[in-house]
Amino acid sequence: QVQLVQSGSESKKPGASVKVSCKASGYTFTTYAINWVRQAPGQGLEWMGWINTNTGNPTYAQGFTGRFVFSLDTSVSTAYLQISGLEADDTAVYYCARAHLHYDFWGQGTLVTVSS
Amino acid sequence: DIQMTQSPSSLSASVGDRVTITCRASQGISTYLAWYQQKPGKAPKLLIFAASTLQSGVPSRFSGSQSGTDFTLTISSLQPEDVATYYCQKCNSAPFTFGPGTKVDIK
């Protein structure tokens, strides 16, 4: 069965970096894009961008350029989201989702908390 | 960029009621619209794609329709397990913007 399993919660200080993983199983990893979605506490879903799992080419939404990096390790069917220079406003749950137009499978979410 | 709006932002209805949520795109997106259900503390779940196609395993009380740039999610008979926030999303091209959400609870 298709699964996306994300890494566990992280607690970081401002200025630090974090890397969230999203491991796919149950399907051929390179046949679907991986998208990333942020949800700040009590807020809605915010599309961050996507990565082409065939080419590794990332596309970032406005507001997610510079400090945010999407990457892949296709040998282990895993996508990564790295955030550098963490700020308090980065505190959120980050989701990965398998995408072919719509998102039919989602990871369970990774809570990143940024606090001094 | 195309903007997505939803109405209402929240609603309260009785078990068995028919519930309708509307999503409007600021420009045409053909049928490239999906609906998701998110329960507290959980990842979103795909309900409807291509505006009106029910995802496998989703109860038939959920349905989607379209009129131009207006899209509707209907729950034909609200059940207690339907308490959740519902989001629409444009799926035609980047940015794949979500609507702001509609919170549904039981009266």
Residues near B21 by beta carbon (within 8 Å), at least 6 away in sequence: B6, B7, B8, B11, B72, B73, B74, B86, B102, B104
For residue B98, the model assigns a pLDDT of 98
Nearest Cβ partner for B95 among A61, A103, A107: A61
- Note which residues in 31-50 of chain A have CB less than 8 A from chain B: 35, 37, 44-47, 49-50
For residue A100, the model assigns a pLDDT of 86
d(CA B94, CA A78): 22
For residue B7, the model assigns a pLDDT of 98
For residue B27, the model assigns a pLDDT of 96
Average pLDDT over residues A56-64: 97
Torsion angle (degrees, nearest 10) of CA A86, B98, B80, B14: 130
Average pLDDT over residues A33-38: 98
Q: What is the mean pLDDT of chain A?
A: 97
For residue A101, the model assigns a pLDDT of 87
Contact assignment for B32 to A101 by CB distance below 8 Å: yes
Phi-psi region of A88 (alpha: psi -120 to 50; beta: other; left: phi over 0): alpha
Contact assignment for B34 to A103 by CB distance below 8 Å: yes
Average pLDDT over residues A27-36: 97
Residue A61 near chain B (CB below 8 Å): yes
End-to-end CA distance of chain B: 37
Handedness of CA A108, B101, B34, B53 (dihedral sign): positive
Average pLDDT over residues A58-76: 97
d(CA A30, CA B43): 23
Asked whether the predicted pLDDT for residue B91 surpasses 90, the reply is yes
For residue B97, the model assigns a pLDDT of 97
pLDDT confidence tier of residue B8, bands split at 50, 70 and 90: very high
